[in-house]
Amino acid sequence: MNKTITYILLCFFAFLLLGTGTVFAESGNFVESKIVSLGVFKNGVILVQEEIPISSTGEFLLKSPPSPIHGTFFVEGDAQFTATLTEREREIPLLEAKSLNLGDDLLGKKLTVRLGEERFNAEIVRHFTLEKNVNSIMSNAYLSYVREPLVLESTPFTVVLRKETGELLFLRSLNDLQEIQLAAEEKLETVRRKEAVLAFHVTAIPEGKKAGENGDGKETQTAVLRLFYLTRGMAWMPNYQAEIHDSRSLTLRQFATLKNEWRDLQNVPTSFISGFPQIEFQNARSPMSPNVSLQAFFQSLSRSSSRSSGSSVVTQQMIMSNSISSGNYEMPATPEMSEGENMDFNMQFQEVGLMSLKAGDTIQMKLAEGRAEYKRIVCWNVEGAIQRDYHRRNENEYGKMSQGKYGAALKDCTEPWDFLQFQNPFSFPMTTAPMSVTGNGRFFAQNISGWANSGEKVFTPVNKAFGIRVSASETSPNLQARMRNAGPNTEEFPYQWTEDGRELTQTDVQRIYHKYNVGMPVRFNNNTYHGRLVNTELEMTNIKNEEVEMLVRQLIVGDFIPELYPETDAQPEVNMLPQKNGVNNVHELVWRVTLQPGETRRIQFSYRFYTN
């Protein structure tokens, strides 16, 4: 199909799309708004504040009205006014229109037309619109021209052409139309279009806010209308680079990629927003948006709840492969925020200055850089067989267990991993984002960093710790029938338990068993449970030729029994974790162990948990 035929189809389909409805006369003053503040979230939502100067009473029209998220659009100002979303017709450049309305734009123009084999000069003198039907058509030419898919509703029409001989032709079909061109002497630089506008009808401006003259004799204006709303169209994607310099220090850099699918920006004050705010209607456009019918609005409300959608920017950035999450394995007391941190309701507003960006552009920038001391730690989350089986059988009772003070769930890091530990060197929080670890031009790892306040410790996984060999074993003897004869150094209890430096007697052991209900029944929610003893042994061997600091962590469903703890130089930190109503408590045991080259360390402990 040649260019002239494509031009024909564009004209006709534009005519079908725009129709010949009632035309509003151009009225009011068209004004431009100025974006005074722009906040960009990571999930594509933007916070916009605009200002419109007002010089007098009357009607002021804002072209390209915003498309806000429902319930987030607010207008205030120094004047008394009402805001109305309506339509007005105005004259615009042909290139801005991007399409032609055959009936209106070319009415009265001299044309060269070819119908079949006949070629003649004519002009369009009239067009009719007949009753509508529901047939749908799709134009490949139109689609490729506007670069977005459209299904157009067909409207039967008749275009009246008058030939130079005076003969009138009634064009009712595209079948015979082969070519249509403007005559050489014709010019078509502008066309009239009916567009959505936001109309402000200003009825009064208070004294002191009216327009006046400054010292140069030029008009000055203080009355301003202010628009505040959330909409979609831009997103920023942070990422971090931890560059290792030596065995002690690294440089942390924060970068940001900003993608603009909204509108052209020119010197707009911009900030990047981190956090997870609740936006209940983030998927519903406000009725104050152009081309939003009541039907579409109410349909979007039914599926707009952000809480029921199950998706968030955090979820979108989770590691979805067979790897481990970084997690904050240590959560010290939250450090005090610096004055310039700009934190409100656990949200970070990071100012990045004036932005100039065309719609469709994507840019990357470096936001911050800081130096920090680091150390390497090998982390091991132990997952015992008995506990794993218990979690599987009681998943409905406990659901997902809390991550606890020291980080990720049991499924993560079940083998030793090398971690970098450093403090956030920035005066603002680190947000959830990809982090790359590099050094001396080499790449070591990429993972996801979690939220970390200024000065808070960050743990970043780098690689599996192949220099550490580990093993874990659990035994759970059946004590219910053997309580009376229970004692140390038997086949069921292989450990030489001690307390305060002395060996425990059979009486001591029975006293401890009764204290923790080991082997004894308890009633809970009309069910009978028995306390079972679990003996655990962890073993770690450092086969590297350097000292290694390890953080060993295990979650237990039950209660740790310190009285039966065997002799060891590694004492655990015990943290109770929140859990749903259940017969067992949930605890987190954490050891910090330093292994010399070639050293093997064993940790033995016991705990009780109830099972039916």
Higher pLDDT, 300 or 595: 595
Task: Please report the pLDDT score of residue 212 as a whole number.
Answer: 53
Q: Other C-beta atoms within 10 Å of 392: how many? A: 8
pLDDT at 598 over 70: yes
Spatial contact of 177 and 6, defined as CB atoms under 8 Å apart? no
| 14 — pLDDT class (breaks 50, 70, 90) | very low
In three-state form (DSSP H/G/I as H, E/B as E, the rest C), the secondary structure along 404-418 is CCCCCCCCCCCCCEE
Label residue 202 exposed, middle or buried (CB < 10 Å: 0-12, 13-18, 19+). buried
Q: DSSP readout, 211-224?
A: -EE-TTS-EE---E
How far is Cα 95 from Cα 177, in angstroms, rounded to an integer? 24
Which residues have C-beta within 8 Å of that of residue 76, sequence separation ≥ 6? Answer: 225, 226, 228
How far is Cα 512 from Cα 562, in angstroms, rounded to an integer? 10
Label residue 550 exposed, middle or buried (CB < 10 Å: 0-12, 13-18, 19+). buried
pLDDT at 290 over 50: yes
Spatial contact of 243 and 425, defined as CB atoms under 8 Å apart? no
Model confidence over 61-71: pLDDT tens digits? 998 899 999 99
Which residues have C-beta within 8 Å of that of residue 403, sequence separation ≥ 6? Answer: 327, 409
Buried b vs exposed e over 225-257: b needs ≥16 C-beta within 10 Å?
bebebbbbbbbbbbbbbbbbeeeeebbbebbbe
**Which of 511, 530, 534 lies closest to 521 in space, CA to CA?**
530
Cα 322 to Cα 369, 412, 445, distances in angstroms: 31, 10, 14
Spatial contact of 200 and 70, defined as CB atoms under 8 Å apart? no
How far is Cα 594 from Cα 547, in angstroms, rounded to an integer? 7
Residue 314, helix vs strand vs coil: helix
| 497 — pLDDT class (breaks 50, 70, 90) | low
- The residue-averaged pLDDT of 589-599 equals 93
Dihedral sign for Cα atoms in the order 100, 106, 109, 110? positive
Task: Please report the pLDDT score of residue 403 as a whole number.
Answer: 53
Q: Other C-beta atoms within 10 Å of 486: how many? A: 19
Model confidence over 426-475: pLDDT tens digits? 999 999 899 999 999 999 999 888 888 899 999 888 999 999 999 998 88
- Residue 568's identity, in one-letter code, is T
Local structure of residue 458 (DSSP, 8 states)? E
As given in the structure block, the two tokens for residue 264 are: 């052209």
How far is Cα 62 from Cα 226, in angstroms, rounded to an integer? 12
Q: Lowest-pLDDT range, 33-37, 119-123, 382-386?
A: 382-386
| 518 — pLDDT class (breaks 50, 70, 90) | confident
For residue 194, report the phi and psi dihedrals to the nearest 5 degrees: -95, 120
CA 578 to chain centre: 27
Per the prediction, the chain carries an average pLDDT of 76
Rg (alpha carbons) of the chain, rounded to whole number: 36
pLDDT at 298 over 80: yes
Label residue 406 exposed, middle or buried (CB < 10 Å: 0-12, 13-18, 19+). buried
Task: Please report the pLDDT score of residue 236 as a whole number.
Answer: 96
Spatial contact of 520 and 531, defined as CB atoms under 8 Å apart? yes
Which residues have C-beta within 8 Å of that of residue 244, sequence separation ≥ 6? Answer: 250, 374, 420, 437, 438, 439, 440, 444
Q: Other C-beta atoms within 10 Å of 395: how many? A: 10
- Residue 491's identity, in one-letter code, is E
Q: Lowest-pLDDT range, 89-93, 166-170, 497-501?
A: 497-501
As given in the structure block, the two tokens for residue 14 are: 């534009």
pLDDT-above-90 percentage for the chain? 33
| 20 — pLDDT class (breaks 50, 70, 90) | very low
**Which of 288, 315, 287, 313 lies closest to 300 in space, CA to CA?**
287
As given in the structure block, the two tokens for residue 279 are: 């936006």
| 174 — pLDDT class (breaks 50, 70, 90) | low
Residue 309, helix vs strand vs coil: helix
How far is Cα 410 from Cα 389, in angstroms, rounded to an integer? 13
Local structure of residue 127 (DSSP, 8 states)? E
Strand partners, 158: 128
For residue 546, report the phi and psi dihedrals to the nearest 5 degrees: -140, 160
Strand partners, 170: 160
For residue 152, report the phi and psi dihedrals to the nearest 5 degrees: -100, 140
Which residues have C-beta within 8 Å of that of residue 309, sequence separation ≥ 6? Answer: 283, 303
Label residue 25 exposed, middle or buried (CB < 10 Å: 0-12, 13-18, 19+). exposed
How far is Cα 38 from Cα 43, in angstroms, rounded to an integer? 15
Most confident of 1-10, 203-212, 378-387: 378-387
Local structure of residue 359 (DSSP, 8 states)? T
Q: Helix, strand, coil: what percent of the chain each, to 5? A: 15, 45, 40
Spatial contact of 242 and 329, defined as CB atoms under 8 Å apart? no
